[in-house]
A = this chain, B = another copy of it.
Amino acid sequence: MDNEGRMTRLASMLRRRGVILPSFEIYGGVSGLVDYGPVGASIKRRVEDCWIEHWTGIPNVREVDSPTITPESVLMASGHVGEFNDHMSECGDCGGVFRSDHLLADSHDKPDSLNASQLDDEIEKIGVVCPSCGSKEWRGASPMNLMFGTSIGAMGKARQAYMRPETAQGMFMLYPALFRHFRKKLPFGAVQTGRGYRNEISPRQGMIRLREFNMAEMEYFIDPESPPEVDLGRWGSRVVLIPDPEGSYPGEKKISFAEAFDSGIVRHPTVAWFLAMTLEFLEKVGIDTDKVRFRQHASTEMAHYASDCWDCELAGEHGWVECVGIANRTCHDLDAHREHSGSSQLRGWRQYETPRQETRDALVPIGSVIGPRFKEMANEVTKLLGELVEIPDVLPFNLELEDGSLIEIDEDMVTRKTEQVTIRGEYFTPHVIEPAFGIDRIIWHILDHNFNEIEKEGEMYTILSLEQPVAPFDVSVLPLFDKDGMGEMARVIAREVNSIRGITADMDTSRSIGRRYARCDEIGIPWAVTVDHTSLEDGSVTIRRRDDQSQVRVTVEALLTHLSSGAVPELF
């Protein structure tokens, strides 16, 4: 099929069919904001559900959910207040504001690597004209913070805050609760899906660069001295990697993840594991794996918090687009929050293989007090006092039990002694490996990769070949005509299909059956069930398969059992 205009036809279909639409259009729209319509929202929910299921399949990974409004103190510590900036240039004549690097996109290789005065020099040298009014009078480039600001509370008591630029910070804030939940045993991870915000100066490219977007991130906390063992052999297929151009292995390669890790291209075993998990997820939701590559950041382009970073890029109508970032954020975030907040709860515990003997202060429990006072918890209290690494100077103090509750230890309960003590381990700041997914970009590429234009009876015909787990509906129920009882029978079937856990039915009664099949194919519904005159006589229906448009006639009962066991293909 002719590819010219394909992107326009795809975007037009998405809008016409209620998949993805520009937001607030009756008020002229706001660039960088999109709606998921009555077809798209189901797709989005299902992609997110697949994502959550994929990552929480790892036994020590749990979902959390934190606010989007974030107080300034958190984002000061994380570096976003100071460093989450784009440079922009304002036209001296018309007041138009543009990203400085975008103004240089055609004339410079890496305009986003330039600082303010370099940008100004370059803009003047090249004689960039204002895209709005044609003027060459530019005010100097200045950094603009990309967060949406707001304030919490009223008047004199108002407090500066921002809409979160990533979900990650919410998970760092929850670290103490996670540490407790996972019984203080690393590694463990938290996942979160939800909105992120980025006040783009000039959003472009539809779904690719949004001001409000849907993210899905995991923060996986590990002990850097003993990262989890990973069997990369599970993922045998070869994948395109583009290693750091300034590193030891420049140049595109097609190798397996195990080879990439063994040869040192991927520097960290957990990063290698998540690269593989990412590819597996993308395949599940219907991304064409021939249009996937992983690109390692050069040290000059790495985010302020990352020590090793890979982009997973997907190819489509917008070229290669970063859709997932996998970064080894090391101890940057937890250390920064510890320093800024003074909290002692942002740490992990590392047991020594062999306990060490040291001479120092200890609090020796007095059994005759501890026993009666704490009853069945006395043993735990005694054990915890023996393991105490940081001996408080002043009593009473709060001792944290294994279930997170606090008990007060006062002077009557212990004797302070300088003695030979057994040190069983030490505290440290965990490292964190983060896979961060841009859900909207992934949905765009799922749609792009599955948008097939074929020729049918001399005309262009569209089939959206979505995998069933991310199709907007599993089934469309179509009465041949909405009369003679066919409509009622279809409604009953739709209701029964909907009552199957995780399976949803659409129903469509308007216009010719051919046009309704075409609509089903165009929005990616894998199965169309038709209720016709024969159905009224013998209770059978036809099932039509989207991808080859073949049909079989089965009983309603067979339809329902095969739908619930995921075995509809076996009917063909």
Which residues of A does B touch, CB under 8 Å?
A: 12, 16-18, 21, 23-27, 30, 32-42, 44-45, 52, 56-57, 59, 62-71, 73-74, 88, 90, 95-97, 144, 148-157, 159, 161, 163, 170, 173-174, 176-178, 180-183, 185, 190, 192, 195, 197, 199, 201, 211-212, 337, 340-341, 343, 345-346, 402-405, 491, 494-495, 498-499, 501-502, 504, 507-508, 510-511, 519
Quick one: closest B residue to A148, CB to CB? B150
Contact of A90 among B96, B155, B346 (CB under 8 A): B155
Residues in B with CB closer than 8 Å to A185 are 510
Residues of B within 8 A of A153 (CB): 97, 199, 201
Q: Which of A64, A176, A510 has the most CB of B within 10 A?
A: A64
A18 and B59 form a contact (CB under 8 A): no
Name the one of B35, B182, B498 contacting A170, with C-beta atoms under 8 angstroms. Answer: B35
Are the C-beta atoms of A183 and B37 separated by less than 8 Å? no
Residue pairs across A and B with Cβ atoms less than 8 A apart, 20 shown, are: A16-B404, A18-B177, A33-B67, A35-B66, A35-B173, A35-B177, A38-B62, A38-B64, A38-B181, A41-B65, A44-B65, A59-B498, A67-B212, A69-B148, A69-B163, A97-B154, A144-B154, A195-B195, A402-B510, A403-B519
With A38-B181, A97-B154, A507-B59 already in contact, the answer to whether A173 and B64 are too (CB < 8 A) is: no
Contact B504 A71 (CB under 8 A): no
| Number of copies of this chain that the complex holds | 2
Give the chain B neighbours of A498 by CB distance below 8 A: 56-57, 59
Q: B residues within 8 A CB of A30?
A: 67, 69, 71, 152, 159, 161
A201 / chain B contacts, CB cutoff of 8 Å: 153-154
Q: Tell whether, in the assembled complex, residue A154 and residue B33 are in contact, meaning their CB atoms are under 8 Å apart.
A: no
- A32→B33 CA distance, assembly (Å): 27
Contact assessment for A35 and B64 in the assembled complex, using a CB-CB cutoff below 8 Å: yes
Beta-carbon nearest neighbor of A173 in chain B: B24
A501 to chain B, nearest CB (A): 6
A10 to chain B, nearest CB (A): 15
> How many Å from the CB of A443 to the closest CB on chain B?
11
A279 to chain B, nearest CB (A): 19
Q: Are A65 and B40 in contact (CB under 8 A)?
A: yes
Query: Contact: B173 with A150, CB < 8 Å?
Result: no
Contacts A65-B40, A67-B35: A18 and B178 contacting too (C-beta < 8 A)?
yes
- A174 pairs with B37, CB closer than 8 A: yes
Once the chains are docked, how many angstroms separate the CA of A212 from the CA of B152?
A: 11
Contacting residues, chain B, for A340 (C-beta < 8 A): 27
A68 to B211, CA, bound (A): 11
CB distance from A103 to the nearest CB of B (A): 14
Known: A26-B341, A64-B35. A149 touches B150 (CB 8 A): yes
Q: A97-B156, A211-B152 are in contact. Are A59 and B491 (CB under 8 A)?
A: yes
Known: A16-B403, A195-B195. A21 touches B174 (CB 8 A): yes
Q: Which residues of B contact A37 (CB under 8 A)?
A: 64, 174, 177-178, 181
Q: Do A181 and B68 touch across chains, with their CB atoms under 8 A apart? A: no
Q: Which residues of chain B are near A163, meaning CB under 8 Å? A: 69, 150, 163
Tell me, in angstroms, the Cα distance from A184 to B314 when the chains sit together: 37
Q: Do A27 and B150 have beta carbons less than 8 Å apart?
A: no
Given A27-B71, A180-B18, residue A42 in contact with residue B62 (CB < 8 A): yes
Q: Is B35 a contact of A69 with CB atoms below 8 Å?
A: no
A23-B96 contact given A154-B201, A181-B18, CB 8 Å threshold: no
A107, chain B: closest CB distance, angstroms: 23
Among B16, B32, B177, B499, the residue within 8 A (CB) of A38 is B177
Which of A24, A44, A144, A152 is packed against the most chain B CB atoms within 10 Å?
A: A24
| Chain B positions within 8 Å of A63 at CB level | 38, 41-42, 45
- Measured between beta carbons, the chain B residues less than 8 angstroms from A192 are 41
Residue of B nearest to A23 (CB): B67
Q: Report the minimum CB–CB distance from A383 to chain B (whole Å).
A: 12
Nearest B residue to A62, CB-CB: B38
- Closest Cβ of chain B to A50, distance in Å, is 11
A337 to B177, CA, bound (A): 45
Smallest CB gap from A188: residue in B: B38
Assess whether B39 is in contact with A181, with CB atoms less than 8 Å apart.
Answer: yes
Report B-chain residues with C-beta under 8 Å of the C-beta of A12.
405
A34 to B69, CA, bound (A): 11
- Given A97-B153, A495-B59, CB of A345 within 8 Å of CB of B173: no
A490–B534 Cα distance when bound, in Å, is: 51
A203 (CB) vs chain B CBs: closest residue: B153
- Among A66, A170, A192, A340, max chain B CB count under 10 A is at A66
Complex contact A68–B212 (CB within 8 A): yes
Contact B18 A69 (CB under 8 A): no
A127 to B68, CA, bound (A): 39
CB closest residue in chain B, given A195: B68
A62 touches B90 (CB 8 A): no
- Closest residue on chain B to residue A162 by CB atoms: B150
